[in-house]
Structure 1
Amino acid sequence: MSSLQHSARKFRRNLVLIMLACAPAVPAGAQTVLFDFGNDASFRGVSSPSPDINGNYWNSLRTGVFYPGLLGADNQPTTIDFGFSTPVATDSYNGPAGATDTTTVGTDVFFTDIDAPALGDLGVLQAAFDFVAGPSLADNAVRFEIQSLDPLKVYDLSFFGSHKYSTDATTVYSVYTDNTYTTLVDTVSLDVQDSLDPSLHNRDTVATLSGIAPQADNILYVEFIGSTGAEGYLNAMKLVGINAPAVDGDFNRDGRVDAADYTVWRDNLNGDEALLGGAGDGSGTVDAGDYTLWSGNYGVSAGLATATPEPVSSVLVLAASLGWFAAAGRRP
């Protein structure tokens, strides 16, 4: 073996070890909720089994119903509520199982064509089988609210949309600040079918919004629609909440830097900085430096920190810089 081959092999081995070390683990205290859009009572729909093949528990939803107290993927109740706020269609026809029928959905579901490992927790036949979609009206935006969220957490939303013969090959998923849906927080797009061949549905890709803080009234205001205004599609969704890092100046840890935090600072001046919940300047004592942090961050909410690159992506960029990377249509 040449020295070059040996070096290349050693580098690849070390790169794998670095990638494994950098891969994000599920944070302690994370809360996961799984949404299956469609159930046994919906049109051409089926409910997801709980537990599923991965040991997770689902909320199988139908339209026209408000769902309080959703179930966590760990089978523990949560405070989280869900409801649609616009007209919405539901079906399974031309989804991942192709042509389905009301009389045969119990067997049709087993024709669901997805890459389950690639979809992770969302890779469950029954969850991928059916979907909600735009109502085929002048305004096809579908809107829903995820309510009663924890203001001390930030949330990742993963969307799986899949459909054949769609007018728009791409669905756009967005989160807004309130129920006027005018101020955008973040958005992401997903091809629900192949952009060149409409007979090929999405079978292996999700779109994710990361680190989203609860908005007005501790709600996430979510909208989806086709990229040019036609129907958008959503088959399944995962919500993961993790504890937000302390925001400098948020001395009472309520997720907001506001006048209440000044009161905490004033009442503990010259005391132990631990009384500021980890949101002080690190001097060990409640002092003028903590006041400066508070005044500089007044009005800031949890979850507004600057995003950082995915660890594995950063490693791949590093590898490339070293010169090794290159060498090595719904039916009515």
Structure 2
Amino acid sequence: MQTFQRVIPRPLVALALLAIPSFGSTVLIDFGRHDGVQGNPTVNPDTNGHYWNNLTYNGGEFQIPSGQAYNDLVDTSNVATTIDVTTTSIWRSNGVNNGGLLAPSAGLLGDFAIATATQDYWFTETGGSPALNNTASLVISGLDPGLTYDLRLFGTRESTSTRETQYVIQGGNGPFSASYLTSGTGIGDGGYNGNNDEIISFSGIEPDGSGNINVTINALQGGFAYLGVMEISSVPEPSHLAMVLGAGLVGLMRRRRQA
């Protein structure tokens, strides 16, 4: 008995692949005071082969003004995106000599476990000059309204003082909020006096009509709130993905009829 095997010609395979764009782009951000003393920029690529965006102000000033923009962030493959981050309030920054996480564990934090990313941070506080009133915010812009986004955020400060940070995310849906202790006696893995093992995750965030997602941190306990690392991942909405996949299949069927 003869058996038959259907073989798709190589040009047809190429057509099918080209018709379906790649989704799931990921952007990594190192917030810090990158002055070589309180913190350092993350060298690209990192030990995992990922590229980071280093957000600081004038190399490492303590205070970041409202309206400071960081444009066209790159994804983890070093491809430029349309994503921008702009501060919408005053932030402050610190790091190595003020409780940054110097020896992160990949077993606990995964891809976030890059020392230059966790050793420094942005923060807000109660009081100070000018007074920050427990809150700080930024906007992520240039997002695709046809996609949803997953955000992961990490904050820490080694201290025996109990400090809790709330993260609030607002786009076309939400708001969504979650909080955890960033500081406190023995709160981390192995009795570390800070967060060394928890990442806050938000899924399915839709950009608003202008392609923006707003991020706010609030100090719920202890007068301080922290943000050291952020990951932004794009996810196609089911209808958008179906439309693109459908277009790819149409291209495939047309090529077959012409063969």
What is the 5 A alignment of 1:166-245?
168-177=162-171, 184-194=174-184, 200-228=193-221, 230-245=223-238
Q: CA deviation digits over 1:168-221, x for unaligned, max 9?
A: 52211011248xxxx952111122124666961111110101110112411011
Partner of 1:72: 75
How many Å apart are 1:228 and its aligned residue? Answer: 3.8
* Counterpart Cα distance in 2 of 1:166 and 1:142: 23
**For 2:27, which of 27, 33, 44 is the aligned residue?**
33
CA shift for structure 1 position 33: 0.4
Distance 2:180 2:187 in 1: 15
Equivalents in 2 of 1:142, 1:136: separation in Å? 11
Say which of 45, 50, 55 aligns to 2:49. Answer: 55
Structure 1 residues 72-128: Cα deviation after superposition (integer angstroms, max 9, x where no partner): 11100000001111111100133234xxxxxxxxxxxxxx13222321221100000
More strand, by proportion: 2
Structural mapping, 1:52-201, within 5 Å: 52-62=46-56, 63-64=64-65, 65-92=68-95, 93-97=97-101, 112-137=102-127, 138=131, 139-165=133-159, 168-177=162-171, 184-194=174-184, 200-201=193-194
Counterpart code for 1:126? T
Q: Distance in 2 between matches of 1:42 and 1:220?
A: 31
Gaps in structure 1 of 5+ consecutive residues: 1-27, 98-111, 254-273, 276-332
Q: Which has the higher contact order (CA 8 A, sep 6+)?
A: 2
User: For 2:218 and 2:161, how far apart are their aligned partners in 1?
Assistant: 11
Conservation of the 8 A alpha-carbon contact between 1:39 and 1:60 = no
Q: 1:216 to 1:168 in 2, by over 3 A?
A: farther
CA distance in 1, matches of 2:26, 2:119: 21
State the Cα distance separating 1:44 from its structure 2 match.
1.9
Larger Rg: 1
Q: What RMSD over aligned residues (CA atoms) do the two structures have, in Å?
A: 2.9
1:218–1:167 Cα change, 3 Å: farther
Q: Structure 1 CA distance, aligned partners of 2:226 and 2:29?
A: 14
Structure 2, unmatched stretches of 5+, are 1-21, 57-63, 248-259
Alpha-carbon contact 2:25-2:75 (below 8 Å) kept: yes
Provide, for residues 224-266 of structure 1, a one-character-per-residue CA deviation record: whole Å limited to 9, x for no partner.
112248220011111111111118xxx999xxxxxxxxxxxxx
Equivalent position amino acid for 2:119 in 1: F
| Aligned match of 1:304 | none
Runs of 4+ in 1 over 4 A off after TM superposition: 195-199
Query: Aligned equivalents of 1:146 and 1:168: distance in 2?
Result: 29
* 8 Å CA contact 1:176, 1:184 repeated in 2: yes
Distance 1:120 1:197 in 2: 19
Conserved? CA contact 2:109–2:199, under 8 Å: yes
Cα separation, 2, equivalents of 1:206 and 1:197: 14
SS of 1:144's equivalent in the other structure is strand
Kept after mapping to 1: 8 A contact 2:168/2:217: yes
The TM-score with structure 1 as length reference comes to 0.57
Q: Which residue of 1 aligns with 2:252?
A: none
The sequence identity of aligned pairs, in percent, is 27
User: 2:52 and 2:158 mapped to 1: Cα distance?
Assistant: 25
Query: Aligned residues, how many?
Result: 208
**Alignment TM-score, normalising by the size of structure 2:** 0.71
Higher deviation after alignment, 48-57 or 136-145 = 136-145
Residue deviations 1:267-287 (CA, integer Å, cap 9, x gap): xxxxxxx79xxxxxxxxxxxx
Separation in structure 2 between the aligned mates of residue 86 and residue 166 of structure 1, nearest angstrom: 28
Residue 49 of structure 1 aligns to a residue whose secondary structure is coil
Residue number among 32, 39, 42 corresponding to 1:45 in the alignment = 39
